[in-house]
Chains A and B, each alone.
Chain A
């Protein structure tokens, strides 16, 4: 299970809508408890690809975010990115580039009027949907 505060959901949704049709991206951090993940902070990072079909997190911003997490007693939990015109599921490229099997990969789809956010565990090129609670 992975839990996201409604306010943090609204933060990434607003940013993703602002950036569309370019993909938006960022990091998630928080704490783990008995295998469950609790997101305490979301980070908005620059998509250095500035592309509509790709994203790459800015490594310098990534480093700054990791330092901020540590300073706040948080651990990295994964990342999030938007799919402006495709579903909320990992693409073949997403799976191929998911190198951290401990991370959660959250994907926000804006293709329909109602946005859809899902979280995935990706390992050996196979994605498994995680139970996501937004409240």
Chain B
């Protein structure tokens, strides 16, 4: 199947989960990454149970925050 990951079309095996994609894409500190599929946010606890399908568009967004002290 073809999915678009961070703007680039890629070929992956059918049945790929978000958790596996995060691993295959070598996402740094994945525990702090938010994933969207077709602009819908994926619950952080459901990466392993969310399966991608042909034509999906996936984005990885790093949590960005901090403080003064």
Which chain A residues have a beta carbon within 8 Å of chain B's beta carbons? 23, 25, 27, 49, 51-57, 59, 62-63, 66, 70, 79, 81, 83-86, 90-94, 97-103, 105
- The answer to whether A66 and B59 have CB atoms under 8 Å apart is yes
Please, how many angstroms separate the alpha-carbon atoms of A70 and B65 in the complex?
22
- The answer to whether A92 and B64 have CB atoms under 8 Å apart is no
- The answer to whether B68 and A83 have CB atoms under 8 Å apart is yes
Count A-B pairs with CB separation below 8 Å: 72
Closest 4 pairs (CB-CB, A-B) = A94-B66, A56-B65, A93-B67, A99-B29
Which chain B residues have a beta carbon within 8 Å of chain A's beta carbons? 7, 28-29, 32-34, 36, 39, 41, 59, 61-69
Please, how many angstroms separate the alpha-carbon atoms of A84 and B65 in the complex?
15
Q: Return the contact of B69 from the options A49, A86, A100, A103 (Cβ within 8 A).
A: A86
- The answer to whether B36 and A63 have CB atoms under 8 Å apart is yes
Chain A residues in 8 Å Cβ range of B41? 59
Chain A residues in 8 Å Cβ range of B32? 97, 99
Please, how many angstroms separate the alpha-carbon atoms of A57 and B66 in the complex?
9
Chain A proximity of B69: nearest CB distance (Å): 5
Chain B residues in 8 Å Cβ range of A59? 34, 41, 61
Chain A residues in 8 Å Cβ range of B59? 63, 66
